[in-house]
Amino acid sequence: MNLPLRQPMSANQRARVLRALGVVPWVRRTASAVPAGHVAPAEPANTAAEAAAGSLCVVVLPETCSTRELDLLGRALSACGATLARAARVSVDSGQLVDVPEARAYLVFGEAQAHALGRSLPAAVMHRAQIVLADEPAQVLTSAAAKRRLWSALRSLRRVLATAGG
């Protein structure tokens, strides 16, 4: 049995068929014309305050977090969207916070970190910001109730950031 040769389809006909099927064709982006030997100049390193100056959310972490705890928090924040995944992270150093950026919301892990945040932020900034308290990361790893409280804290934080345009 011989099969007839497939006739080439014109671009217009292909577009009509795809439109009729409800398929949206994707078009590959072209790379910008950069010379092969060109190296972009390195940008100066930013401090934590400069990096988070325009951020909507800041995550305040305890001084000692294990890799496992940081991984858990990173996954939880990533699950809640790009705004929280890219949130600036600052850690308390010997009970003090230095260069805490102003933000619309703060996610604070533990009461000691909340007290340090309260000592370092001006009263006007604290009045405008939404501060959400969650359990310390070590408790979140070991307790189901702490995990539930973290998810409810992240939900309320997402609501606040959604109303702020984040």
User: Model confidence over 78-124: pLDDT tens digits?
Assistant: 888 888 888 888 888 888 888 888 888 999 998 999 899 888 988 88
Ordered by start, the domain boundaries in the chain are 52-163
Q: Is the pTM of this model over 0.85?
A: no
Pair 114, 126: CB distance under 8 Å? no
Pair 59, 89: CB distance under 8 Å? yes
Architecture of the domain made up of 52-163:
3-Layer(aba) Sandwich (3.40)
In whole angstroms, give the CA distance from residue 86 to residue 89. Answer: 9
In whole angstroms, give the CA distance from residue 133 to residue 107. Answer: 6
